[in-house]
Amino acid sequence: MTMALCFTCGHVKFGAIVACPECHINSTGDMNLDILFSDHHMAESTLAQFGQIVKLINRNTEDSQVRFWTFMHYITLNHSDLLSADPPEAIAEQVKSLYASLEFPPVEMLPGRRGPATASKREKPPSQNGPPKKRWWHFGR
């Protein structure tokens, strides 16, 4: 059983790569990102706290791209051991302005079933780690 964060509505849903039963939006399409924010790497209570961050952002903007990138900006600034991402230049000022206007509650990072999500646990990009390895979701060959 895998529980994961819906980046669109903040619901903690069953399955990292399936549509959310609350908002009916599919996963991000980036399997690594979807699985990073699952109970594989962080406790369900931590996912729920991140869900509150997503919901706070959602209450303050209608733009789905600004919502997503404000959450990514929040993660970059507050949980850089998870990931670091820069918003697209076209919306960067909107993202930074929205982020600055909000008061975010703290999130307690608790490890998931496979241990904590940290940069040392995640696979490095292929350029830093040799040729890409065959992934479990590839079929054939």
Contacts of 101 (CB under 8 A, 6+ apart): 60
pLDDT at 113: 84
Q: Per-domain residue ranges for the chain? A: 3-121
Among candidate residues 91, 87, 93, the one with its CA nearest the CA of residue 71: 87
User: Rounded mean pLDDT of the chain?
Assistant: 86
| 6-35 confidence digits (pLDDT tens) | 999 999 999 999 999 999 999 999 999 999
| The overall pTM is greater than 0.85 | no
pLDDT at 49: 98
| pLDDT above 90 coverage of the chain, percent | 79
> What is d(CA 72, CA 63) in angstroms, rounded to the nearest whole number?
14
Of residues 41 and 118, more confidence is placed in 41
